[in-house]
Chain A
Amino acid sequence: MTLGLINANPVVHAKKERVARNDDSHAEDAVDPLEIYDYVRDIRDPEHPYSLEQLSVLSEESITVDEKLGRILITFTPTIQHCSMATVIGLCLREKLKDCFPPHFKVDIKVAPGSHANEESVNKQLNDKERVAAALENPNLRQLVDECLYSSEL
C-alpha cells in the first residue's frame, strides 16, 4: 500500500487468556458467542501484524447468537473513525464464518454505532450479498482477505 497506513499507530491490547472449557459429556453444546469469538479473534488486521482481538476491534460481548433462528450478529469497532479497512475486516469476518458454520446460519455484520464516519454505507455494503460476492471476485481483495484469514505471523 503506497498511500501509507491509515492508522499508523494503533493501540495494542493484551490477548486474553483462552479458557479451556469443561463440557459435560451428555448435554448438547449450543453455539455461543465465545465459540464464534474463538473462531474470529485470531483474524489478522489488514494493516498490522496484530489480531483483531489485540486491536480490540472485536470482543466477546459484541457477538450475539440465536441458535434457534440461526442468526449471528457481529458488531465490530474499527480502530479509527474513517478507517477504510472496515469493509475489509467485515469481509474477512464474513468469509471466516462462512467456513466455520453450516449454511443455514444468517450472519449479520455491522460496525458499532458511532464508531465509523460512514456507518450506514459500510453496514449496507457488508450485508449485501451481491456486493460481497463481487468483492470476493476481485483478485486483489481476495488475496488480502485470504492473507488475513490464514496468515500465521501473529
Chain B
Amino acid sequence: MECLLDRYAGAMADLGDNLVYGICEAIDGEKDPQCLLLVFHIVESLAQLSPGPLANFAEDLFEILGCYFPIHFTHPKGEDDDVKREELARALMLAFASTPLFEPFSIPLLLEKLSSSLPSAKVESFKYLSYCTAKYGPERMAKHAEALWASLKDTTYLSPQSMLSMEPESMSRMNFQESDVMTEAFVLLQEVIRQYGEFISLIIGDNDINAFLISLNQYKGFDDIPLQVKQKLHAVGHILSACAKASAAMCNKVFESFFPFLMDGLGLSVAQPSQNNSYLDEECFSLAKFKFGPLYLCIELIAACKSLTLSLYNCTSIHDFPHQRWCSLLSSFSESLVKAFVSMLRSNVADNEQSAYVYCGVKGLQILATFPGSFTPVSKSVNDNIFLELVSIITSDSNKTFEWTSALKALVEIGFSIDKCLDSEKAASFESTVVEKIVSLISSLDSAIPLSLRLQAAFEIGATRKDFMLRVVRGLDESIDTNFSAVFDHGNHKSDELTIKLLDTYSQKVLPWFLEIGGSEEVQLNFALRIWDKIENFRALNLSPPEFTSISYQDLLGATMTAMKKAVASCSEESQEIIINKASGVLFSSTVFGSMGFKSGSSILKEEGLQQTQNYGNSSGRDEWLTSLFASVVVALRPQTGISNRKMILQLFITSLLNGHVPSAHALGSLVNKLPLETKGIKSSRSLSLNEALDMIFHSFVGTCRDDSTSGNDGSGVNINSLRLNTSRIQLEFNTVIGLAWIGKGLLMRGHEKVKDITMTLLSFLTLDCEAGVSKQFQNLAEVLDEEGVHQLMKCAGDAFHIIMSDSGECLNRMYHATVRPLYKQRFFSTIMPILLSLVVKSESSFVRSMLYRAFAHVVSDTPLTAILGEAKKLFPILLECLSTLSKDVSDKGIIYSVLLVISGILLDKNGQEAAVENASSIVNQLIELTAYPHMMAVRETAIQCLVAVSELPHARVYPLRTKVLRTISKALDDPKRIVRQEAVRCRQAWASIASRSIHF
C-alpha cells in the first residue's frame, strides 16, 4: 500500500474518498507496532498527494491517529525489539505534521496533553508542537498563540523543573541542569518565535514577567535570592534570550522594552562622554549596588545579541547595523557596563562569596569583547581596557583560583573569536596587550604565580592562533636559554627545576600542537639547533656543569633528551640532516673526541674501548651530555635521512656503550634498524651500509668479549687485557649484553637475519655456567669472573630478552620512525622457542635452567596471545615449571605476574582450554601454590581468577580437584587484601557450584 501510494500517486488520487475511508478502517484499532509504523507512513504519504479527499476525512482520520499519542508500550520489554519506541514516535510525528489540515485537531490535543502529569508525555508534546509549528506555517499557528504561550509559561516559568546542578563550582554561577521538558519547551519557544513574530508581544506584554522583573530589585546580593526565584530568573533569562536571538527586529523589541529597565535596576546611566577615562578610581560603583537579578538578565541579553550578530555576520555582509535600536542602546551603555564588570572583578572580597559576581563580570567582559569586528558596541579604547583588566587578573594573583581560571578562559575565548572573525585591528591590540604580557610572564623570575600556571596560561593563549604561538615559543626559547646558562655558568639549582618545567612544556604541549597544526617545522628545527648552539658555547668556554650526580641534574638531562627527540622526530629529512650535521660538528670538534675521532678502523677501537674504560671514572659529564644528546638525535632520525660520518658515529656509540652508556645502546639499535641495506653512490667511504656497520659492531664486541659465534678470531692480546682489567671486565660484559640486546631489537624489528647471531650469543651467555659443551669457549672468561659475577651476567642476558621483545618508549617505536616489520614478535617467538626448549632439556644445573626459564618467561609474556595459543599444548608444562622455579625468588614477582597473565589468557580462550584440559591437575596445583604468594597482591588475585577459569573446564577433569581447591580458597578468604578476598569468594562459589550449591566438603 505504501508502495502504491508512492509510485502511482495519480491513480490513487482518483480513488478519492473510498481510499481514505478504507485506510481509516484499516488503521482503526491496530496495535502491532510494526503495522503501526507502516500505517503512519501511509498517512504521511496520503496527506502529501491528495489534499482533496483528505479534507473531508481529516477529522475522522485524526481521531484515529490521535489515540496513539503519546506512544506508550504496554508490553514487557524484549518482545518488540525490532521496532523502537523512538521510531514509532517519530513516524507518528511526521504523520501529525503531514498536512495543515490536521491543525485544528492536533494542536488542541497536544496542548491538552501538555497539562498531563507524565513528564514523558510533556516532552513528547513539546517535540511534536515544535515540529508541527514549523510545518503548519504562521497563519494557522496564530490562533493558538495565546494558548501556547500560556502553556509554555506554565512549564518554564511558573513551575520550573530545573535542578541546581550539584557541583560546588557551578552552584554559584546559575548553572542549572534543565530537565528534558524544559529543554524541549525552549526549543518550541524558539521555533514559534521564528515562525510567528507577533508572539513576542505576548511575552513582552506578559504581566507576570514584568512583575517578576520589578520584584527582582528587592534582592540585593546573590545569596539573598531564594532558590525558587533563582530558577525563575534562569527561566526568564532563557526566554528573553530566545526572543532576542530570533532576529534583529525581535531583538529591537526586547531591548526597547527591557534593557533600560534593567539598566535602571543596575543603577547605570548612559555614560557621559565627558567622563574622564580613568577606570582606576572607582568612585561610585560599590558592590552592593549591583543586584544580581538584573545583572544576570542583562548578561543573558547581551549574550543573545552577540550570537545574533554572529549569525547575521555570517550570512549577510551589508546591513544597517549601527542604526538598529538595540545596537545603539547597547553601545550607549557599554562604557558604564564595562566599568561595572571591572569593579566587580576588582572588589577584593573573599573568593568564595563573590564568585557569582566574578563569574558574571568575566563573562560580561568576554561577551563585550567578542562582538565581531565592525559591529562592536564598544570602542577600541574600551576594548583595550577589557584586555588589560583580564590580563592584570592573570598576572597579579593566582590565589583566587576561580577568578584566575575564568579570566584565562575568557581570554582564550576572545582569542579564538578574533581568529575566527579575521579582525585585524582587534588582533593587533590583543597581541600587543595580552600576548606580550603573557609571554613576558614566562621569563619573569619574581612573579608570585607558580611557573606551571604561567606556562599553562602562555600555552593556552598561544594555542588560539599560530603567530601568537610563535611569539610564545620565542618567549619560551629565551627563558630556556637564560636558564640553561644559569645552570651551567653559576650552578644555579633553582634554574634546574625551572628548565625542566620549561622543557617539559615544550615536549608535552608545544611540539604536539605544532605537529597537529602541520605546516612549517621551523620551530622544531630551531629548537634543536638552539640547544646544540648552547652546548657548543659551553664547550667553547670549557665550562663543566656542576654536580653531575645530583638528581635534578639527571632529570634535566632526561628532559632535554626527550624534548630533543620529539623535536627531531617531527622534522622532515632535510631539517634532520641539518640538525645531525650541526650536532656531529659540535660533537667531533669537542676535545675528547676530536683527538681520536678521525682515526678509523677497528684495530684501534679495541684499545680505545679499553682506554675509555679506564678513563670512565674521570671522563667528564660534559661528554656524557654530548653523547646523550647526540644519541637522542640519532634515535629520532627518519630512515631516509643521510648521515655523514657514519663510521665515526658508530665508533663513538660503541665506545660509550661499552662504558655503560645506555642511550648509546638505544642509538645503536636505531642506527642498525634504519641503515640502508646497500649503499648507493660512490662516497661509500663516508656512509656505510648495514652489513658494514654490523661487521664493525661485531668486530668490536668480539674484540672485547671474545665471543666467537660470529667470527673465529680469538685474539690472545685481549686475553692479557682481560686478565689485567679484572674488575672492570664484568662491567664491560654487562654493557655488551645490554648493547647486544638493543642492537638485536633493532635488527629483529626490521627482520634482519643477523638477529639470529645475536640471539645465539645471548643464549651462550645464558648457559655460561658449567655446560661442558658451551663453556669451553668461555673457559678463560669463567676463570676471570668470580661466581657471583657470572650469575649476574647470566641474569642480565636473560633480561636482554625482555629488551628485545618489549615495546620501548625511549626509542625504536613508530614515533621515532623505526622500521617495523609486521609480526616480528611472532617470528622471533617461533624461532627462539625450540632452541630454548631444547636447551632447557639439556641443561643440568638448576641455575642455568632457571635462567633459561627467565628468558623464556620474558619472551612468552611479550608475544601476542594468538601466537601462543597455537603452541599452548606444548607450552603448558614449561609455563608451569617456569612459575615454580621463578616463585623462589622475591625479585622475580613482576615476571611471575606477566607469565600468570599469559596463562589466564590461555585459559579464557576456547582453544587454550582444550590444551589446558590435559594439564588440569598440574595447573591447579601450581595455581594453588600461587594463591598464597606473599610478595605481590596482583599475583594472588590473578591466580585465583585463573582458578575460576579452570572451573569451567570439563566436569570430569575438574571434579576430583574440587576439594583441594576449596580448601585452599577458604584460606584465601582470610587474605590481607580486600580485592583478593572478593576474588576468593567468587572462586569459592564457582567451585562449590560444580557439584551442588552446598559448600560443604
Contacts and interface: CB of A to CB of B under 8 A. Distances in A.
B980 to A, nearest CB: 9
Nearest to B999: A99
B976 interface: yes
Which bracket fits the contact residues of B? 10 to 19
Nearest to B978: A29
Interface stretch (A9-17, A45-53, A55-63, A100-108): A100-108
A23 B982 CA distance: 14
Contacts of B858: none
B247 interface: no
A99 B987 CA distance: 11
A102 B985 contact: no
B985 A100 contact: yes
A146 B977 contact: no
Interface in B935-987: 937, 970-971, 973-974, 976-979, 981, 985
Given A39-B985, A99-B985, A28 B973 contact: no
Nearest to A29: B978
Given A23-B979, A150-B997, A99 B989 contact: yes
Interface string A127-154: 0000000000000000000100010000
A102 B976 contact: no
B294 to A, nearest CB: 40
A35 interface: yes
Interface in A63-106: 98-104
B999 A21 contact: no
B834 to A, nearest CB: 39
Contacts of A99: 985, 988-989, 992, 999
Contacts of B971: 102
A104 B989 CA distance: 19
Interface in B222-251: none
A28 B976 contact: yes
Do most interface residues of chain B lie in helix, strand or loop, or is the interface mixed? helix
Contacts of A101: 973
A121 interface: no
Interface in B419-478: none
A149 to B, nearest CB: 9
A123 B39 CA distance: 64
B611 to A, nearest CB: 47
B943 to A, nearest CB: 17
Main secondary structure of the interface of A (DSSP, over half): loop
Nearest to B985: A100
A21 B978 contact: yes
Given A39-B985, A146-B997, A150-B997, A100 B973 contact: yes
A150 to B, nearest CB: 7
Contacts of B977: 23, 28-29
B937 A102 contact: no
Given A25-B937, A39-B985, A146-B997, A103 B970 contact: yes
A146 B996 CA distance: 11
Nearest to B936: A25
B965 to A, nearest CB: 15
Contacts of A28: 976-977
A104 B970 CA distance: 11
Contacts of A39: 985
Contact of A29 (B970, B976, B997, B999): B976
Nearest to B977: A29
Interface string B670-690: 000000000000000000000
A69 to B, nearest CB: 14
A101 B252 CA distance: 74
Nearest to A98: B999
Nearest to B988: A99
A99 B979 CA distance: 16
Interface of B: 937, 970-971, 973-974, 976-979, 981, 985, 988-989, 992, 997, 999
26 contacts: A23-B978, A23-B979, A25-B937, A28-B976, A28-B977, A29-B976, A29-B978, A31-B978, A31-B981, A35-B981, A98-B999, A99-B985, A99-B988, A99-B989, A99-B992, A99-B999, A100-B981, A100-B985, A101-B973, A102-B970, A102-B973, A102-B974, A103-B970, A104-B974, A146-B997, A150-B997
Given A23-B977, A99-B989, A146-B997, 4 more contacts: A29-B976, A99-B985, A100-B973, A102-B973
